[in-house]
Amino acid sequence: MNLDRIVFILLFLAALIILVYSAVDLQNYPYFLTSSIVVAVSIALFFIFMPVLTNQWYVRLIVVNGIVIILMPVLESGLRWIFVSLLYASLLLATYGAWYLLKLKK
């Protein structure tokens, strides 16, 4: 693993720890916290390992995150979570754009 990946992983973990400890009332929304961590880790891993990512792993990333995003408004039982789900879906759409541009380059 090269130094760039190690530095990016450490920065990501530090940001995730700060997010979890600084947010207020996260214990009231356990699925939101879980889905936020799953989406954040998936997107970080996507950008860390993008040059060596295979099609199978990318499809799995999209399917797992898609299920997590769809279930968030249902399990947290509120319409306000739809906007968070749309935000996460737009982030996943951005990964598809990066994935498509990388495949064009190869």
Please provide residue 79's backbone torsions phi and psi, each rounded to the nearest 5 degrees.
Answer: -70, -20
- What pLDDT does 1 receive? 65
How do residues 53-81 score in pLDDT, each as one tens digit?
Answer: 888 988 999 999 999 999 888 888 878 88
How far apart are alpha carbons 62 and 68 in whole angstroms? 10
Whole-prediction pTM: 0.81
Contact status, residue 6 vs residue 49, Cβ threshold 8 Å = no
- What pLDDT does 66 receive? 92
How do residues 17-27 score in pLDDT, each as one tens digit?
Answer: 887 788 777 77
Interacting residues of 17 by C-beta distance below 8 A, sequence separation 6+: none
The residue among 86, 99, 27 whose CA lies nearest residue 57 is 99
Share of the chain above pLDDT 90, in %: 17
- What pLDDT does 105 receive? 77
**Which residue range forms the structural domain that includes residue 44?**
3-105
Number of domains in the chain: 1
